């Protein structure tokens, strides 16, 4: 998302084929709406991380060789788990060195709670509801969650709320 225009400029989406918990449990299918057939066509974590890197390069956000950021940008997450635990633990397990740009993010839930103290809800769906926005797509489906998070970010930026890096 471009914070000046408040528009989503591009998206990146791929399914990762599970290497450990395959086939998917019914709980996972029900939670995410992602079918076994979809992940069977997915790529390895390493391949998706490389495609993500190339997507960042294509969009002029990082240098292909140095992996340094070329513009000011940051990931926005709903919670810290994804980039604090989830990705690092998976990278460690599969002996993948994550790029340094995964070390910076903004926890949207923290921004929300600091700036909107009347908010007592939980998670992304709580933030959407508080802002009068409907959930679009399937909650816990990565691409749908990202698009819903961008809608929350847009609303907060329109209100003049300042975002600060979490870690």
pLDDT in tens, 37-91: 999 999 999 999 999 999 999 999 999 999 999 999 999 999 999 999 999 999 9
pLDDT for residue 157:
98
Do the domain assignments include residue 28? no
For 102-129, write each residue's pLDDT tens digit.
Answer: 999 999 999 999 999 999 999 999 999 9
The pLDDT mean for the chain works out to 97
Q: How many domains does the chain have?
A: 1
Between the CA of residue 81 and those of 18, 30, 131, what are the distances in Å? 19, 21, 23
27 occurs within a structural domain: no
Whichever domain contains 81, its CATH number is 3.30.420.10
In a domain, 162, yes or no: yes
| In a domain? residue 130 | yes
3-state helix, strand, coil in the chain (%, to 5): 45, 5, 45
Which of 99, 130, 136 has its CA nearest to residue 115? 130
In a domain, 26, yes or no: no
Residue 18 domain flag: no
Q: Is residue 50 part of a domain?
A: no
pLDDT at 74: 98
Query: Is 138 a member of any domain?
Result: yes
Tell me the residue range of the domain where 164 lies: 74-167
């Amino acid at each position: 998302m471009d914070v000046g225009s408040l528009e989503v400029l591009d998206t990146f989406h791929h399914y990762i084929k599970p290497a450990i918990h395959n086939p998917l449990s019914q709980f996972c299918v029900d939670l995410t709406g992602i079918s076994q057939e979809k992940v069977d066509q997915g790529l390895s974590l390493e391949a998706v991380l490389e495609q993500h890197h190339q997507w960042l390069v294509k969009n002029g956000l990082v240098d292909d060789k140095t992996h340094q950021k070329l513009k000011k940008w940051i990931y926005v997450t709903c919670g810290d788990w994804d980039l604090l635990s989830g990705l690092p633990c998976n990278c460690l397990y599969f002996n993948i060195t994550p790029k340094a740009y995964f070390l910076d993010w903004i926890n949207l839930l923290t921004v929300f709670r600091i700036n909107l103290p009347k908010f007592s809800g939980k998670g992304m769906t709580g933030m959407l509801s508080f802002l009068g926005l409907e959930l679009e797509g399937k909650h816990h489906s990565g691409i749908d969650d990202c698009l819903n998070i961008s809608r929350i970010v847009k609303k907060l930026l329109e209100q003049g709320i300042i975002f600060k890096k979490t870690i």
